Structure 1
Amino acid sequence: MSRYHEVKFRAVTAFQRRIANPLLRRLPVQTLLETTGRTSGLPRRTPVGGSRVGQEFWFVSEYGERSQYVRNILAQPQVRVRIKGRWHTGTAHLVPQDDARARLRSLPRLNSAAVRALGNDLTSVRVDLTGP
């Protein structure tokens, strides 16, 4: 990774962790992904922008396997997703063969624009929803 991308990664993740995510998690309409912390075992909630398609929920990780929630998914793929205020259980899968940039065109515009602008290792993620 280039020095520019490393500095950008550190700045963006620090802003998200300390400012954006704590505020967004409080919004009742914000979609949240709940993973299990890979070392702590505690629930970790991350705001995401995605879309439900039938029994699947799709979103794009801006930093691929460097994202903490993706690392949690790799350790424990059972997740919960809060969509429109309602929690759903499911199993998350990284889908690296999916065209993440094309996927972003089908997801909410504001979040997609931010992911495109800030990310440098876009990776599609699919959650197979199994229940409420």
Structure 2
Amino acid sequence: MSEIKRRLVTWFQRSIANPVLVRMPGRTVLETSGRKSGQKRRTPIGGRRVGDDFWLVSEYGEKSQYVRNIKADPRVRVRIKGRWRTGIAYLMPEDDAKARLRGLPVVNSAGVRMLGTNLLTIRVELTNHTAGGRATS
């Protein structure tokens, strides 16, 4: 994918798709702290909980804003089925991201494979059952 295409997809996701998707009650959302502003940043994601871990694959690897935020502060929250869980995110460059996608939700994984330029697996070690109760946005 060319740099121009990546920028167009990123603009569409950030400006149009993500603001709608993060408000959908059943949508899985990753919350990070902005590395410069410290403000909470929410990104709709696809992934799967396996035991006390939540697995996802970033389509742009370390170019993704949420990955940059994780590198600055790995403490995150994940909204799974309407409930927030706190956790610590780990970048897993040694993991086979393409193989990992085969075990994650099909529709999201297809989009990540199609648009992705530098796949990177992320594991979130969930540290509690809920954080902040039921999510509203």
The equivalent of 2:51 in structure 1 is: 54
From 88, 93, 102, give the equivalent of 2:85: 88
Q: Deviations over 1:79-121 (max 9, x none)?
A: 0000000000000010000000000000000000000000110
Amino acid corresponding to residue 9 of structure 2 in structure 1: V
- Report the 3-state secondary structure (helix = DSSP H, G, I; strand = E; otherwise coil) of the residue aligned with 1:117: helix
RMSD of aligned Cα (Å): 0.6
Distance 1:48 1:8 in 2: 20
TM-score normalized with structure 2 length: 0.93
Q: Which structure 1 segments of 5+ residues have no match? A: none
Work out the number of aligned pairs and report it: 129
User: Which of 110, 114, 122 in structure 1 is aligned with 2:107?
Assistant: 110
Partner of 2:66: 69
* Partner residue of 1:39 out of 14, 36, 41: 36
CA distance in structure 1 between the partners assigned to 2:4 and 2:11 by the alignment? 11
Q: Percent identity?
A: 65
3-state DSSP of counterpart to 1:9: helix
SS of 1:22 mapped into structure 2: helix
SS of the residue corresponding to residue 14 of structure 1 reads helix
Picking from 120, 123, 126, the partner of 1:123 is 120
In the TM superposition, residue 44 of structure 1 has moved relative to its aligned partner by 0.3
Instruction: Supply the AA of the counterpart residue of 1:66.
Output: K
Q: Gaps (5+ residues) in structure 2?
A: 131-137
Determine whether 1:20 maps to 2:17.
yes
1:9 to partner: Cα distance: 1.1
If each structure's helix is expressed as a fraction of its own residues, which one has the higher value? 1
Q: The residue matched to 2:127 in structure 1 has which SS?
A: strand
- CA drift at 1:13: 0.3
Give the drift of 1:7: 1.1
Q: Is the 8 A contact 1:5 1:120 kept in 2?
A: no
